[in-house]
Amino acid sequence: MSPMAAFAVYFIIWWTVLFCVLPLDVRSQSETGEVTAGTEPGAPVAPQLWRKAIITSIVSVPVFVLVYVLWVWADL
């Protein structure tokens, strides 16, 4: 696997994991009772995107290693 292909595979894995992590620990404005005038009541109060990006990166590494090992082992 070339370095560019490895980067592309990691990038796809990272984005897929991000979409799995995004809904975790989300509280909407209507759930907390702090609806700001002019905003959607379903909007998150504190999305914690930096925290979710770090979790995504941590989870993506072992998934990428597994894909890489299978790729090399299967000689694709």
What are 18-68's pLDDT values in tens digits?
A: 999 999 989 988 888 888 888 888 889 888 999 999 999 999 999 999 999
Asked if the model's pLDDT at residue 74 lies above 70, the reply is yes
Q: How far apart are CA 45 and CA 75, in angstroms?
A: 47
pTM for this predicted structure: 0.81
Report whether pLDDT(75) > 80. Answer: no
Six token digits for residue 33: 């009772």
Residue 76 confidence (pLDDT): 58
- For residues 51 and 47, give the distance between their C-alpha atoms in angstroms, rounded to a whole number: 9
Give the pLDDT score at 39: 86
